[in-house]
Amino acid sequence: MDYTAITFAVASGVACVTLNRPDKLNSVTAVMLRELSHALDVVETEPDIRALLLTGAGRGFCAGQDLNERAVGAGGERPDLGATVRDGYAPMITRLYNLPVPTVAAVNGIAAGAGANLALACDIVLGAESAKFVQVFSNIGLIPDTGGTFILPKLIGMARAKALALLALPVKAAEAVDMGMIWKAVADDGLMAEATELAETLAKRPTLGLALTKKAFHVSGKNSLQEQLALEAEMMRQAGYSDDYAEGVSAFLEKRQPQYKGR
């Protein structure tokens, strides 16, 4: 596929997806959503891809939906934003959140609206010191989408999530770290180097076990302790039968670096 709204490159087992509309702060269009979906197809099916790194071109990560595509003219027909979410954002964020490889977001500059929640759907989020996360939806009478009402309270708690969503308050990267929204704030000029190193490190790890770990965490909030313990037993059985486990134990006993094959 010839990409126009993103770029896609693979190196050292890492697929790097860059939102690529820098003149519009990488705001999301229907074309970008289709291209992101195709990129996730590749990540899900190409066995040599063992991690995903997501970032934005230029001075921002993503300013959210491009409102030029959803403008309301005087007396004009109102857009069906529910269809936009149901057919575009929802399937994309579901796939990203549940991707069978570890995901890293490198947030440079502003991450607003859908852009903020796109980043927060990744497993590990690094923010440049200049980055800001804003649930901007309430400024135009909308609700947080792209999984925002699901992911944000899980990360920072309901009280903070409600306040940030209702007031559309910007959160700087260091503040986001303090409240548990993201993992780490990084100097602007070192963001991509650190994010790339992190993604490459994850790509070398036993990705089947990492995928199972993600699944276990994702369902833990709705399970009882006994249900979660049963899930852990089933997943541990699956992991224990894997080549990665055998390789990890052999490498440990032989005092060498393991060579994992993952999924």
Tell me the pLDDT tens digit for each residue of 222-253. Answer: 999 999 999 999 999 999 999 999 999 999 99
* H or E stretch covering 53: strand 51-56
pLDDT in tens, 76-110: 778 889 999 999 999 999 999 999 999 999 999 99
pLDDT at 261 exceeding the cut of 70 = yes
Q: Are 55 and 61 in contact (CB under 8 A)?
A: yes
pLDDT in tens, 127-147: 999 999 999 999 999 999 999
pLDDT in tens, 34-63: 999 999 999 999 999 999 999 999 999 999
pLDDT in tens, 3-36: 999 999 999 999 999 999 999 999 999 999 999 9
Q: Residue 43 and residue 14: Cα distance in Å, rounded?
A: 9
Per-residue pLDDT, 70 = 75
Q: Are 144 and 125 in contact (CB under 8 A)?
A: no
Map out the domains of the chain with their CATH numbers: 6-203 (3.90.226.10), 207-254 (1.10.12)
Under DSSP, is residue 104 helix (H, G, I), strand (E, B) or coil? strand
**How does residue 74 score in pLDDT terms, banded at 50, 70 and 90?**
low
pLDDT at 176 exceeding the cut of 80 = yes
Under DSSP, the state recorded for 5 is: S
Q: Residue 198 and residue 192: Cα distance in Å, rounded?
A: 10
Positive/negative CA dihedral, 130, 161, 140, 76: positive
Under DSSP, the state recorded for 62 is: B
Under DSSP, is residue 254 helix (H, G, I), strand (E, B) or coil? helix
pLDDT at 73 exceeding the cut of 70 = no
Residues 6+ away with beta carbon under 8 Å from 63:
24, 25, 26, 27, 110, 112, 113, 115
**How does residue 178 score in pLDDT terms, banded at 50, 70 and 90?**
very high
For the record, the structure tokens of 108 come out as 């440079």
Sheet holding 171-172: strands in order across? 110-112, 132-134, 171-172
Residues 6+ away with beta carbon under 8 Å from 178:
none
Per-residue pLDDT, 134 = 98
Q: What's the CA dihedral at 160, 96, 172, 216 to 10 degrees? A: 50
